[in-house]
Amino acid sequence: MPKPVLPRHVAIIMDGNGRWAKQHALSVMIGHRKGVEALREIIRFSSDVGIQVLSLYAFSTENWSRPEAEVSALMRLIEEYFKSEIDELHQNRVRIRILGNKYGLTAPARDAAIAAEEHTASNTGLQLNIALNYGARDEILRAVRMLCEQTVSNRTAFEALDWAGFSAGLYTAGQPDVDLLIRTSGEQRLSNFLLCQCAYAEMMFPQKLWPDFTVADYQEALDSFARRERRFGGRNL
């Protein structure tokens, strides 16, 4: 019996921590911590089943507008996450890549993120993209600026530009585009996440809030993906 088709690249918008906390009459930071517990299991499972790339939307450029106390607590949680999880991730050969302007994070969170990238740089297992201080529009502008610098005085190079050249300026350079995007909590929008990379992604919007999202729910999404017919704009006759 053939193995089910796995997506090479899964992207997850981990939505619903705050609503979960409100439903349980708890603080929003407890909701975020419960979200980290769910995240841990999804990463382990992704590595075990052979997903090549897992991209996680952890902190967007828009999240800075949240209450100062919540933002400060999230920065501490990011720092704590990398320091507490790095040994297991490294042992499982997970390679971490930060998507976004990590230099805009608080110094402790930034340093922990950079240390995690460097510590796992030679690993050959699951590629774990963690989007921090990330926005897709900013990413696109960054890629355009890089291309302008390379081609401003070279018309031949400018006219030869193609998607491969443009995508080399994205944070995900060298990785496959997203095959499956999952957003928990039932919300159905991308919220400025991997806009270019999701051009042909299959999208699923389970109703569960992120802290309640289990490996069984994830497997259900993978099974649904395997049953879908992907035509990439063509038609199967």
Q: Mind telling me the catalytic residues? A: 15, 63
State the Cα–Cα distance between residues 94 and 88, nearest whole angstrom: 9
| Local structure of 87: helix, strand or coil | helix
| Cβ pair 124, 93 in contact under 8 A | yes
- Residue 107 corresponds to which tokens in the numbers above? 């110094």
Write the CB contacts of 200 (distance below 8 Å, at least 6 apart in sequence).
177, 230, 232, 233
Q: Are strands 202-204 and 95-99 parallel, antiparallel or unpaired?
A: unpaired
Angle in degrees, CA 131, 56, 23, rounded to 5? 110
For residue 73, how many C-alpha atoms fall within 13 Å in the half-sphere facing its CB? 12
Alpha-carbon distance values, 156 to 22, 98, 152, 159 (Å) = 57, 33, 10, 5
Alpha-carbon distance values, 63 to 28, 66, 73, 87, 137 (Å) = 14, 6, 12, 28, 15
Which residue type occupies 191?
S
| Cβ pair 226, 5 in contact under 8 A | yes
Task: Name the residue with tokens 């919540």.
Answer: 70
- Residue 77 corresponds to which tokens in the numbers above? 């949680």
